[in-house]
Amino acid sequence: MSEIIPRWEWRTFGTTTFGRSEDLIRTASEAKIRHSTEVYFLSAQSMNNTKVRDGLMDIKTLKAVNDDKLEQWNPILKAQFPLDAATLTGIFQAFGVSMPALARESYTFDQYVDELIRPHPDLEAVDVVKERHGFMIDGTIVEIAAVTFNGIARRTVAVEHEDPALVASVVRRLELAGFENINYLRAMKSAVGMA
């Protein structure tokens, strides 16, 4: 298995288009369009990025924030359902909450959501639908996406790469530097009303 190099990310969210910045992105590269339906799991006690995409449980932790406020996210888990007790222990550690008593040796996706997530006062499952338009600009991955969080519509733009200086340069080139850097977790918690 090849080594995973964490990428640096700049991202922002809003309720309308990002005007000239979106025009600059669309004229710089051809878009690759992807649609996905995912479930994110929010914890009132943690800012770890925990979600299920394509049937895989996926967790990323915030590894670093640099002087340009770029964030480096580190993948720490990809697991298939059903989830066993050892995997669930790691997931609940990422949530920053105590794991409830387990009634089963392993949990399917529905059992995990219905029996472990929904009853927990500090956890919330959020249905996320994404239409992502991906671009390659100066070697970075740039994304414009329309997303919904439990049906609440938002728009997001992101720039990612392993080299933070390159990300910062592309953010400036695309006239995005005036927008606040807001990651998925912050945007989602704000949208659904989780402090």
Query: Residue 76 corresponds to which tokens in the numbers above?
Result: 């720490």
User: Which residue range is the domain that position 92 belongs to?
Assistant: 7-192
Residue 3 confidence class, pLDDT cut points 50, 70, 90: low
Which residue, 192, 189, 175, 143, is CA-closest to 36?
143
Residue 4 confidence class, pLDDT cut points 50, 70, 90: low
Number of domains in the chain: 1
**Is position 2 within any domain?**
no
Task: Please give the pLDDT value at position 133.
Answer: 98
H-helix or E-strand containing 161? strand 152-161
Residues in contact with 22: Cβ distance below 8 Å, sequence separation at least 6, in sequence order? 144, 157
Task: Please give the pLDDT value at position 1.
Answer: 43
For the residues 16-44, what does the mean pLDDT come to?
A: 96
> The pTM is what?
0.92
pLDDT per position as a tens digit, 160-194: 999 999 999 999 999 999 999 999 999 999 999 99
| Whether residue 136 has pLDDT greater than 80 | yes
**Is position 150 within any domain?**
yes
**Is position 113 within any domain?**
yes
User: How much of the chain, in percent, has pLDDT values that exceed 90?
Assistant: 96
> CA-CA distance, 59 to 52, in Å (whole number)?
9
Phi, psi of 102 (to 5 degrees): -95, 130
Phi, psi of 69 (to 5 degrees): 70, 15
CATH classification at residue 147: 2.40.320.10
**Is position 1 within any domain?**
no
**Is position 143 within any domain?**
yes
